[in-house]
Copies of this chain bind each other. A is one copy, B any other.
Amino acid sequence: MYDLLIIGSGPAGVSAALSAKARNLDFLWFGSRSLSGKIEKAERIMNYPGLPAVSGGEMRDAFLRQIDGLGISVLEERVNAVYDMGGYYTALVNEKMYEGRAVILATGVSGSREIPGESRLLGRGVSYCATCDGALYRGKRIAVVCTDPSLEEEVVFLAELAAEVLLFAGYKGCGVRRENVRRMEGYPTEILGEDRVAGVVCGGETAAVDGVFCLRSCVAPAALLPGLAAEGGHIQVDRQQRTNLPGCFAAGDCTGRPYQYVKAAGEGNVALHSAWDYLKAAGSTSK
Contact = CB atoms under 8 A, between A and B. Distances in A.
Contacts of A48: 18, 50
A262 B15 contact: yes
Secondary structure call for the A interface: helix
Interface stretch (A58-66, A119-127, A220-228): A58-66
Interface string A10-49: 0100110011011100000000000000000000001111
A269 interface: yes
B287 A270 contact: no
Interface in A262-287: 262-270, 273, 276-277, 280, 287
A163 interface: no
Contact of A239 (B47, B69, B256, B273): B256
A115 interface: no
A81 interface: no
A209 to B, nearest CB: 22
B23 A46 contact: no
Contact count band on A: 35 or more
Contact of A47 (B257, B262, B269): B269
B262 A258 contact: no
A229 interface: no
Interface in A67-123: 69-70
A49 B51 CA distance: 10
Contact of A131 (B22, B49, B59, B257): B22
Given A19-B260, A52-B62, 7 more contacts: A50-B51, A52-B66, A52-B69, A153-B280, A160-B287, A257-B273, A258-B269
Listed from nearest, the 6 A-B pairs whose CB atoms lie closest are A266-B266, A52-B66, A18-B47, A258-B273, A19-B47, A263-B266
